[in-house]
Amino acid sequence: MERAPRQATCNLDWAYLGRMPYTAASRLQQALSAALVNGTGRPTLLLLEHSPTITLGRRSSSDEILVPREKLAKLGVAVVATSRGGGTTYHGPGQLVGYPVVDLGRLSLGARAYVLRLAHALQRTLRAHRIDTEWSDEHPGLWLARSGQPEKIVSLGVHVRRNIATHGFALNVQPELAAFEMIVPCGIQGSRMISMASVSGELWELPALASEVAASVAEALGLAPREVPPEHMTLATDFDTR
């Protein structure tokens, strides 16, 4: 996997936003993306949890959802079609979701190199907690580095338009893994989703883990992490552009 650049060139503003509906996070990404396009935004990383949501990527098929939509509605699980790459996945409490909104042109990165940088950052974070993972070109994401049934711990899927990358990654910290039984994760039959908690038996405070992830992502992109108040993320024009 490609090495991260050694020297940070500017800041990556980040905040942990707690639990947020998927559609609200999507609107926030759109606003931050527009700010980058018009020159008033900054490289930004949103870190958060979602309310229970099944998302459909550009390669999803209808048979990847195993539960009738009516039952999902009764369970309070939203279903949302997205513009990101990849297949079907689940988001919910206990999963740390990251949405970097960055200009790949300014980072001198193509889409594939960018995704690999994100994977490297999460691999580094997991390794710090004694969890070794492997990247798969065939099935993009991070998989547990042990034999047996394929076990996925990180999902990645991005969207790039006008050189601006949105969407990002989902790290299974301690979600309810039974929720993934509602879908065929990423359309890969025979695989299963795992979490940091299921591997190690430990539990984490997500805000603290978010700080580790932000530092790793910033380093992988050649940026310096700068934590900002969460309320700054709710206004795409409310940034210090110095």
Rounded to whole angstroms, how far apart are CA atoms 46 and 28?
9
User: φ and ψ at 55, to 5 degrees?
Assistant: -115, 145
| Predicted local distance difference test score (pLDDT) of residue 187 | 57
Q: Show the CA angle centred on residue 54, arms to residues 236 and 235, nearest 5°.
A: 10
| Predicted local distance difference test score (pLDDT) of residue 215 | 98
| Predicted local distance difference test score (pLDDT) of residue 155 | 92
DSSP per residue over 191-227, as a string?
A: -EE--HHHHHS----HHHHHHHHHHHHHHHTT-EEEE
Are 44 and 32 in contact, with CB atoms under 8 Å apart? Answer: yes
What DSSP character marks residue 188? -
Rounded to whole angstroms, how far apart are CA atoms 44 and 242?
15
Express each pLDDT in 127-152 by its tens digit. Answer: 999 999 999 888 889 999 776 778 99
| Predicted local distance difference test score (pLDDT) of residue 4 | 45
Are 79 and 53 in contact, with CB atoms under 8 Å apart? Answer: yes
| Predicted local distance difference test score (pLDDT) of residue 176 | 94
| Predicted local distance difference test score (pLDDT) of residue 37 | 93
- pLDDT by position in tens, the chain (length 242): 544 444 445 999 999 999 999 999 999 999 999 999 998 899 999 999 999 998 887 666 677 888 888 998 889 888 877 778 677 889 999 999 999 999 999 999 999 999 999 999 999 999 999 999 999 888 889 999 776 778 999 999 899 999 999 999 999 999 999 999 887 776 566 678 999 999 999 999 999 999 999 999 999 999 999 999 998 876 544 433 33
* The architecture CATH gives domain 11-231: 2-Layer Sandwich (3.30)
Contacts (Cβ under 8 Å, ≥6 apart) of 132: 126, 144, 145
pTM of the model: 0.88
- Among all residues, which ones are annotated catalytic? 186
**For tokens 């309070």, what's the residue?**
76
| Predicted local distance difference test score (pLDDT) of residue 64 | 81
Q: Show the CA angle centred on residue 8, arms to residues 234 and 133, nearest 5°.
A: 80
